[in-house]
Amino acid sequence: MRQQSDYSFESSNPPDSTEWDVEEEATHTRILWVRIAALVAFLVVAFIAGFLLAPRESSDARVGDLRADLRQSEENSQQLEARLADARQQLVDAQAQVEELEAAAGPDPTATETPSPSAEEKTKSYTVQPGDTLQEIAVDYYGDIDYDDFLAEFNGIADTTELPVGFDLKIPPKPETP
């Protein structure tokens, strides 16, 4: 004899497939929302832990530290400026001492003085060319036209309008005033 199974195809109708899809979809949706809620809870806990464990240095404390550093730098700068001023004064004092020692020592005894040339040795000679004037010669040798009368007087020339060609004109050192 054959055993009768609980499920027979003739006696019962299979469940509707749309019912299974709806139930399965609802289950998946619940699982998804549980996962999202768990993730959000984890992120909130991580944020709070990070906030509580982070260093508590406030911006006011940092500003205070920076101001203290600035004051220290300004003090260092002032000290360096004072040291620089002292060094400069020492240099000036040392230069003054060197000048005093050089003045006290007098001229170098090993140095030989060369005698300065006399006025006659400094006098130059110029031979007058056709068309030359005392004014042109004064400008050439002294850089100033006003020395023409000085040249005429030095060479004993009475008429400055006519210079004899070939005349040996003496040109002395430049005087302070023409």
Q: Are residues 44 and 80 in the same domain?
A: no
Number of domains in the chain: 3
User: What span, in angstroms and rounded, lies between the C-alpha atoms of 34 and 18?
Assistant: 24
pLDDT per position as a tens digit, 35-45: 999 999 999 99
Which pLDDT score, from 0 to 100, does residue 71 have? 94
For the chain, counts of helices (H) and of strands (E): 5, 2
**pLDDT tens digit sequence for 123-153:** 899 999 998 898 999 899 989 888 888 888 9
User: Across the chain, what does the average pLDDT equal?
Assistant: 81
Which residues, 6 or more positions from 134, have their beta carbon under 8 angstroms from its beta carbon? 148, 149, 151, 152, 157, 160, 163
Q: Please report, rounded to a whole number, the percentage of residues in the chain having pLDDT higher than 70.
A: 77
* CA–CA dist 17, 20 (Å, integer): 5
Decide if 49 is inside a domain.
Answer: yes
> Which DSSP letter does residue 146 get?
G
Classify residue 107 by its DSSP letter: S
Please check whether residue 25 lies inside any domain of the structure.
yes
**Which of these, 165, 170, 70, 82, lies nearest to 119 by C-alpha position?**
170
**Residue 24 forms part of a structural domain:** yes
Residues 42 and 22 in one domain: yes
**113 in a domain, yes or no?**
no
Residue 134 within any structural domain of the chain: yes
Please provide the size of the chain in residues.
178
Q: Indicate whether 166 belongs to any domain.
A: yes
Nearest to 127 by CA among 115, 113, 137: 137
Is residue 159 situated within a structural domain?
A: yes
The H or E element containing residue 32 is helix 17-53
> The domain that contains 167 carries what CATH number?
3.10.350.10
Per the structure, the complete domain to which residue 90 belongs is given by 61-104
- Establish if 150 belongs to a structural domain: yes
Run of H or E residues at 168:
strand 168-171
